[in-house]
Amino acid sequence: MKNKLLYKCTLIVGLMALGSCESYFEPDADDILLEENYIGNTNELYSGYMGIAAKVQTVADQGVFLSELRGDFLEPTDNAPQELWDIYNHTISEDNSFADPSGYYDVINNANNYIRKAFEYKESNPDAVEDAVFEPLVSGAIRFKVWSYLMLAKLYGEAVYLDQPLTKEEDISKYPVMQFDELIGQLISLMEGGVNGIDGKKVLVWSDLLFPGVSTSAQDLTWNMICPSPSPLLIELYLWNGNYEQVVSLGMSFIYDQGSGRYKLGNDDYNGEWIQFFYRDPITKTRELINIVPFDYQRHQTNHLIDFFSNTEPNKYYLRPTEVAMQRFQQQVRQDGITIGDRYRGEDYTYWRQNGEWVVRKFSRAHETADNIYKNDVHIALYRAGDIHLFIAEALNQMEKFKEAEAFLNDGVQNYLSKNEGNLQYPLDNETYNAAININWGVRRRVDLGPVFPEGLSKDELDTPEKVEEYKKGLDSLLLEETCMESAGEARSYFAMIRMAKRWGDPSMLADRVSAKYPAGKRESIRSLLMQPENWFVDYDLSK
């Protein structure tokens, strides 16, 4: 008992020292952790893990800019450098720093090295750290690696797959490249099979480790949120892989959360309350947020979201919302049937008029006053409850569970249960789950929007396979439209376009949406380019 207490006290002191250090979470992007004494003691086991998280910080905003500029939400301003214009125009050169994938490979390389060194340390010091702590640390490193590879797949369509750390001198281009579908399968295998008997599904609750006996709700540390959680990561992988039953099963269990129903979409965050997820302290506002990349200006941890989106000095105002994206919000119908737009996710929330220009506001509401405008330390969400609901709805649609899919999209579980009493269908026939999530409001009802359904068809008249497929594709299109609003600026919607265009073998599901943001004289050339699936991804020569 004395040794365990000493161990916990040492750990607390060590992590507190790390947290107060100005260089913490501020790594050199070129560092590769291959020193012989790396993980030479227990504290280094923790600091090495945080070092991987620091590498994630360096690429967190890159995914936003690369995906949203090539989607339909963002366009460059006259202030923007040529590199951002090239991404927007789908003409990316080899020396475009925004398109360079090396930051993602840094995450992977550090994770690989951490896993190897952690096992070496454990073998040499079997009693230095309990298995209940060691295994989740390795598992978290696996998930950092999987997340980074998933981002490479979605952005570049391929990646060099590495299981061992590289040295600085090694040429990554000499290793074989995995294409998109093969890479997704490999990542699922890594999550489920793991390394040396440790899979990617073990979670370390830092608050339990550092503050034993204090409930998580009272001491819900940001550290608990920095690593992608197993369920959301697997849910997205399964969705890409077409494992729809697993998406639904895992998603329902995750929302249920052992009876807490924490990740439901309910009246806790209705209407304008939802926007707080992006600018409030995640420790005090965690009902929706699942995983974040945290930043802290006082510790020199910053990103470029506010810098590029805000037009208030000293920010640069490189990027702004497109007209077509803003029109999508404006054309929504309210619950009472009146078309007044998406007033809780549209103007004044996702975007607004500032200093005579349209700007992205979603992330900046805590950074608009003179004492905060320059800080550029807004957190970046990796997963939140809205993502899980849209993932479940998308999977249920593919399973032809249309009413159930529409419950998650539209009015929520609450209204579904009342309207279908006596005829509840999977997965909303589970009394245990429903007891915790029966006040779920659904994605659209939560922001006072009316339900939407595929045009021209009724669920009661799907009497041929062709009509079923038509309804399914129509609902997919509605889910895509909803993702474009719910997740605007979060590096979600362009990837959903890719997924659905791949699923239906219909490039127009992506090409029509993206090309609509361009001026009339350029629109058709962009559409023709994007009708070829190989042009959906960033083309980058890995030898560079």
- What are the domain boundaries of the chain? 297-378
Least confident of 37-46, 239-248, 417-426, 437-446: 37-46
pLDDT of residue 314: 94
pLDDT classification of 338: cutoffs 50, 70, 90: confident
Q: Which residues contact 401 (CB under 8 A, 6 or more apart)?
A: 425, 426, 427
pLDDT classification of 543: cutoffs 50, 70, 90: low
Amino acid in position 109 = N
Alpha carbon distance 270, 18 (integer Å): 38
- Mean of pLDDT values over 195-205: 95
Question: CB pairs under 8 A, 24+ apart, for 530-533?
Answer: 530/90, 531/507, 532/507, 533/501, 533/502, 533/507
Asked if the model's pLDDT at residue 467 lies above 50, the reply is: yes
Q: What is the helix (H) or strand (E) element at residue 321, kind and residue range? A: strand 319-321
Alpha carbon distance 495, 501 (integer Å): 10
pLDDT classification of 110: cutoffs 50, 70, 90: very high
Alpha carbon distance 154, 246 (integer Å): 21
Q: Name the pairing type of β-strands 380-384 and 357-360.
A: unpaired
Strands, DSSP E only, in 366-484? 380-384
R_g of the chain computed on alpha carbons: 23
Q: Which residues contact 96 (CB under 8 A, 6 or more apart)?
A: 83, 86, 87
pLDDT of residue 544: 65
pLDDT of residue 203: 94
Question: Beta-carbon neighbour count of residue 16 at 10 Å?
Answer: 11
Cβ density class 364-383: b for 16+ within 10 Å, e for less? bbbbeeeebbbbbbbbbbbb
CA-closest candidate to residue 524, choices 508, 502, 538: 508
Asked if the model's pLDDT at residue 97 lies above 90, the reply is: yes
pLDDT of residue 468: 97
pLDDT of residue 30: 42
pLDDT of residue 21: 34
Distance of CA 145 to CAs 24, 46, 232, 493, Å? 20, 17, 15, 22
Question: CB pairs under 8 A, 24+ apart, for 405-410?
Answer: 405/475, 405/479, 406/451, 406/453, 406/475, 407/442, 408/440, 408/442, 408/443, 409/442, 409/443, 409/444, 409/451, 409/452, 409/478, 409/479, 409/482, 410/442, 410/443, 410/444, 410/445, 410/450, 410/451, 410/452
Q: Name the pairing type of β-strands 357-360 and 351-354.
A: antiparallel
Mean pLDDT of all residues belonging to the chain: 89
pLDDT classification of 8: cutoffs 50, 70, 90: very low
SS3 (DSSP) at 76? strand
Q: What is the helix (H) or strand (E) element at residue 85, kind and residue range? A: helix 82-88
CA-closest candidate to residue 451, choices 487, 417, 405: 405
> Both tokens of residue 75?
């366009």
Least confident of 242-251, 286-295, 299-308: 286-295
The upper half-sphere exposure of residue 175, i.e. CA atoms within 13 Å in the direction of its Cβ, equals 16
Alpha carbon distance 542, 95 (integer Å): 12
> Both tokens of residue 180?
């998109």
CA-closest candidate to residue 294, choices 308, 281, 307: 281
Q: Assign residue 251 a region (left: φ > 0; alpha: ψ between -120 and 50; beta: otherwise).
A: alpha
pLDDT of residue 187: 98
Beta bridge partners of 292: 381
- Mean of pLDDT values over 87-115: 95
- 10 Å CB burial of residue 529 (0-12, 13-18, 19+) is middle
CA-closest candidate to residue 192, choices 238, 153, 133, 256: 238
Higher pLDDT, 145 or 283: 145
Q: What is the pTM of this model?
A: 0.92
CA-closest candidate to residue 32, choices 50, 7, 52: 52
Q: Which residues contact 69 (CB under 8 A, 6 or more apart)?
A: 75, 76, 84, 87, 88, 319
